[in-house]
Structure 1
Amino acid sequence: MLILLGSFLGLMVLGVPVAIAMAVASLAFILISGTVPDVILAQRMIAGVESFPLLAVPFFILAGNLMNIAGVTGRIYAFAVSLVGWMRGGLAQVNIIGSVIFSGMSGTAIADAAGIGTIEIKAMKDHGYSTEVAVGVTAASATLGPIIPPSLPFVIYGMMSNTSIGALFLGGVIPGVVMTLFMMATVAIFARIYSWGSDAKFSLRDLGTAGIEVAVVFGFPILAYGLVWMGLSVNLAIGLALAVLLALDYYFDFSAVMALMTPVILIGGMTLGWFTPTEAAAAAVIWSLFLGLVRYRSMTMRSLTKATFDTIETTASVLFIVTAASIFAWLLTVSQTAQILSDLILGLTQNKWVFLILVNLLLLFIGCFLDTIAAITIVVPILLPIALKLGVDPIHFGLIMTLNLMIGLLHPPLGMVLFVLSRVAGLSVERTTMAILPWLIPLFAALFAITFIPELTLWLPRFMGMTR
C-alpha cells in the first residue's frame, strides 16, 4: 500500500500527469513487490478498455464536436433568448437554458464550456455584464453536461460498477432539473441585488414560437405512439412522425426544433429498448451529421476533418487515463489496499447518511486533483462496496459521485472547465477561480438535495421499470 499510494501521490506532487503517475506507480509496485507478474500490467491495461460500453466515449465526444461546428449552438442560443431573454438577468438565464439543451447532446462539461459557452460569454460581455459574471455562470451551467443525459462519466461509472447505463441516464434527469432551477433562482437573486435588467424585449410572438417548438418536439413521440396504437409498425410510425417533423421544420424554419430532438431521440430510444447507450452514442453522431450536412448545410469537409481529429485526440487521452486507472484500481484490490481503506471507513461510521457526508467531502477534495475519469475508475472499487453494504442504491451513488467530480472541474489545479473558460475569456486562472466561487452556492445546494433525497434520482428509473 505504501509503495502504490506513496509513489502515486509523490509523482502527483511533482506535477506528473495523473495517467502517467498511475501507470508508473503500478509498474513500481509490480517490480518492487515481486508478487505480480509484470505481464499483468499490459493485460490489465488492455482489459480496462476492452469493453463495449466504452465505445460510447468516442461517439459522444464526436457528437459534441459535430454539434459545435454544425451551427447548432447558435440556434440553441437564439431559442433560449426567445424563451427567457426577457427576464431580469436575461442572458445569464439564457446561459443556463442553453447549457441544459446542449447537455442533452454532448454529455461533457468541457464541450459545453468550449462550444455554447464561447457564444454566451461574448454575448454577455457585449450586453454590459462583467467578464467575471459571464465566466461564473457559464462554468456553473457547464456542470449540467454530465448530469443531464447522455453523460460520459455515467458510461464509465456504469462500466466500473456493473450498473445499467440507461438507468443512470434516466436518474440524471430530475437532478438536472433541480440544478437548473437552483441556478436560475441564483440568477434572479443576483439580478435583484445588482439591478440587472432584461436583455431582450418581451415578445409574446417570440415566446409563443419557442413554446410551439417545444410542443412540436414533445409531439413527435406522442404522434409516433399514436400511429403504433392505430396498428402501424414501429419503424413505419417513427418514419411517418419524423417526416411530419421535417416538413414542419422546413416550412416554418424553426430555430431549434431539430437540435431539441437530440435528447428525445437518445432518451426515448433507450427507454423503449430501440438501442443501447452505446448505440445511442452512434445515433447522436448520425443525427449531428444529418443536421450539419443536410438540414443546416453548415458543415464543410475541413470542419468535419477537424472535428474528427479533435475527437481522436480527446478519446486517446480519455482511454489512456482509463487504461492506467484500470491497472491501478486492480492493484488496489489485489494488494488489499481497497479492503484496508474500506475497513477504515466502516470503522468511522456504520450510518448511511454520515457515510454519504464523508463521501461528499472526500470526492470534493479528490475532484480538485484527479481527472474525472481517473477518479471514477479508482474510487468506485473502494467506495461502492461500502455504499452497497450500507444500503445506498448504486444509481444514487453514481449521481452523487458524478456531481461532486463535476464541481471539481471548476477548481485548480486540474479543473479542465476552469482552464477552458480562462482561455476563452482571456482571464487569469486566479481571476477565473474567484469568478466561479459565488456560483458554487447553487451547486452545493443541489448536491445537498440530491444526496439526502434519493428519490430525486431513483423515482424516474423506477417509474420506467429500469430499477427496483
Structure 2
Amino acid sequence: MTLLLALCILLGLIGFGVPIAVALIAIAVGIFWMADVDQLIVAQRLYRGVQSFPLLAVPLFILAGQIMSRSGISGHLVAFAKTLVGQMRGGLAAVNVVTSMFFAGMSGTSMSDTAAVGGMIIDPMVKRGYSRAFTGAVTAASSTIGIIIPPSVPMVILGAYLGISTGALFAAGLISGVVLGLALIFVAWLISIRAGYPVEEKFALRRAGSAFVKALPALLMPAIILGGILGGIFTPTEASAVAVVYGAAVGMFYYRTLTPALLYQTLCEAAVLSGAVMLVTAAAHVMGFAFTYEQLADSILRPLAEL
C-alpha cells in the first residue's frame, strides 16, 4: 500500500462519517494485513500510544477547564472583557475574542472554549444587531486560540511524543496566542466600522475594578500553571493536577457554584471528552507505527532529502 493510497482511503472514510479514531485504526489494520503482520500489534500499539506520564496531563487539563466552565466563570470573564474593550466599535466582537483568550488559559481545548464562550456571547451579539454570519465567524476564529495559549492539550501531546520541552511550547504559545488575539480584534474592529456595529458601555474604572476582582481567581490559573512550569516548581503533569485542585477550590469556595452533583456531572463530561482525545491519540500512534514499519513516509522524505 502506497502512502498516497493510504491517505486517500483515510480521507474517504472520514468523509463518509467514520469516526477519526476508527478510520486511523482501519488504515493501520489494512497495512498490517497486507504485510502479513500479526494484528495483535494493533492492540499493543494502542496501549503504548498512551502509556506516557506526560500524557496524564491531557485528561487533567481537560477536567480543569470543564470545572472552571461549570463554575460559571464564563460570565465573569465576559463582564471583565466588556469593561476593557467594550467601548470599541463592535465591542462585543472584541469581547468575544478577549474572553476566548482568557478562557484558553484554563481549558486547553478549542471545543471547551467554543462551548463556554459561544454559549455566553452569541445570543447577546445577535440581539445587538450583529449578523449571525459575523458572530459565528468571530466565535469560530477566536476559539482556535484555545489550543495556542497554555495550557494546550495538543502541545502536551506534541511534547510527549517528540521529546520537546512542554514549558518551552507553552511559553511560545502564550506569545503567539496573544498576537493572534490582537490581530483578530483588529480585523473585527475594521469590519465593525464598515458594518456600523454598536459600541458598548464606556470605560469606568470602578466597574472595571469590580469585574476584575470577580474574574481574578480564573485569571490566576494560567499564571500559576505557566509560572510553576517555567519556574521549575512542578512538571506539566503536576501542573495539570494543581489546576484541577485549584479550579475545584475556586468553584466550591469562592464562587460557590460547584456543588457535589455538578462536580459529578463535570467529571462525567470530562471523562467522555478525554476518552475521545486519548483514543484519537492512540489510534494516530498505531497508524504512525504502521507507516514507519512499511517505510511509507520514506517515499516522501527521500525525494525531499535529495533536493
Please state how far the C-alpha of 1:207 moved relative to its aligned partner: 4.0
Do structure 1's residue 264 and structure 2's residue 265 form an aligned pair? Answer: no
Structure 2 runs not aligned, ≥5 long: none
Aligned with 1:333 (options 284, 292, 296): 292
Cα pair distance change 1:338/1:80, threshold 3 Å: same
The residue number in structure 2 matching 1:451 is: none
Aligned with 1:27 (options 22, 26, 29): 29
Name the SS of the counterpart of 2:297 in structure 1. helix
Cα pair distance change 1:56/1:119, threshold 3 Å: same
Instruction: Tell me, yes or no, if the aligned pair for 1:90 and 1:199 is still in contact at 8 Å.
Output: yes
Matches within 5 A, 1:65-464: 65-207=66-208, 213=212, 254-346=213-305, 350=307
The residue number in structure 2 matching 1:378 is: none
Aligned with 1:11 (options 5, 10, 13): 13
Partner letter of residue 116 of structure 1?
A: V
Instruction: Tell me, yes or no, if the aligned pair for 2:61 and 2:240 is still in contact at 8 Å.
Output: yes
Residues 89-122 of structure 1: per-residue CA shift (max 9 Å, x gap): 1111111111111111111111010012210112
Residues 143-187 of structure 1: per-residue CA shift (max 9 Å, x gap): 111111110010111112111111100111111121111111112
Name the SS of the counterpart of 1:143 in structure 2. helix
> What is the alpha-carbon distance in structure 2 between the residues aligned to residue 118 and residue 6 of structure 1?
36
> What is the alpha-carbon distance in structure 2 between the residues aligned to residue 167 and residue 17 of structure 1?
32
Instruction: Tell me, yes or no, if the aligned pair for 2:113 and 2:143 is still in contact at 8 Å.
Output: yes
Across the aligned residues of Structure 1 and Structure 2, the Cα RMSD in angstroms comes to 1.7
Please state how far the C-alpha of 1:37 moved relative to its aligned partner: 2.9
> What is the alpha-carbon distance in structure 2 between the residues aligned to residue 172 and residue 52 of structure 1?
22
Residues 368-390 of structure 1: per-residue CA shift (max 9 Å, x gap): xxxxxxxxxxxxxxxxxxxxxxx
Please state how far the C-alpha of 1:63 moved relative to its aligned partner: 1.0
20-29 or 47-56, which deviates more: 20-29
Residues 341-400 of structure 1: per-residue CA shift (max 9 Å, x gap): 2123445xx5xxxxxxxxxxxxxxxxxxxxxxxxxxxxxxxxxxxxxxxxxxxxxxxxxx
The residue number in structure 2 matching 1:424 is: none
Instruction: Tell me, yes or no, if the aligned pair for 2:80 and 2:208 is still in contact at 8 Å.
Output: no
> What is the alpha-carbon distance in structure 2 between the residues aligned to residue 31 and residue 208 of structure 1?
64
> What is the alpha-carbon distance in structure 2 between the residues aligned to residue 208 and residue 20 of structure 1?
50
Instruction: Tell me, yes or no, if the aligned pair for 1:4 and 1:26 is still in contact at 8 Å.
Output: no
Name the SS of the counterpart of 1:200 in structure 2. coil
> What is the alpha-carbon distance in structure 2 between the residues aligned to residue 117 and residue 8 of structure 1?
31
> What is the alpha-carbon distance in structure 1 between the residues aligned to residue 85 and residue 10 of structure 2?
48
Instruction: Tell me, yes or no, if the aligned pair for 1:155 and 1:165 is still in contact at 8 Å.
Output: yes
Please state how far the C-alpha of 1:40 moved relative to its aligned partner: 1.6
> What is the alpha-carbon distance in structure 1 between the residues aligned to residue 168 and residue 266 of structure 2?
30
Paired residues, number = 305
Instruction: Tell me, yes or no, if the aligned pair for 1:105 and 1:150 is still in contact at 8 Å.
Output: yes
Cα pair distance change 1:193/1:325, threshold 3 Å: same
Partner letter of residue 18 of structure 1?
A: I
Instruction: Tell me, yes or no, if the aligned pair for 1:60 and 1:285 is still in contact at 8 Å.
Output: yes
Normalised by the length of structure 2, the TM-score is: 0.94
> What is the alpha-carbon distance in structure 2 between the residues aligned to residue 305 and residue 209 of structure 1?
31
Name the SS of the counterpart of 1:255 in structure 2. helix
Instruction: Tell me, yes or no, if the aligned pair for 1:127 and 1:199 is still in contact at 8 Å.
Output: no
Cα pair distance change 1:12/1:296, threshold 3 Å: closer
Instruction: Tell me, yes or no, if the aligned pair for 1:99 and 1:142 is still in contact at 8 Å.
Output: yes
Normalised by the length of structure 1, the TM-score is: 0.62
Instruction: Tell me, yes or no, if the aligned pair for 1:99 and 1:112 is still in contact at 8 Å.
Output: yes
> What is the alpha-carbon distance in structure 2 between the residues aligned to residue 150 and residue 101 of structure 1?
11
Instruction: Tell me, yes or no, if the aligned pair for 1:72 and 1:259 is still in contact at 8 Å.
Output: yes
Instruction: Tell me, yes or no, if the aligned pair for 1:76 and 1:256 is still in contact at 8 Å.
Output: yes
> What is the alpha-carbon distance in structure 2 between the residues aligned to residue 200 and residue 79 of structure 1?
12
Partner letter of residue 163 of structure 1?
A: I
Structure 1 runs not aligned, ≥5 long: 214-253, 351-468
Please state how far the C-alpha of 1:10 moved relative to its aligned partner: 4.5
Residues 1-50 of structure 1: per-residue CA shift (max 9 Å, x gap): 3375464344334432221112122112222221x333222211110010
Name the SS of the counterpart of 2:214 in structure 1. coil
> What is the alpha-carbon distance in structure 2 between the residues aligned to residue 5 and residue 176 of structure 1?
31
Give the % identical residues.
40
Runs of 4+ in 1 over 6 A off after TM superposition: none
Please state how far the C-alpha of 1:340 moved relative to its aligned partner: 1.5
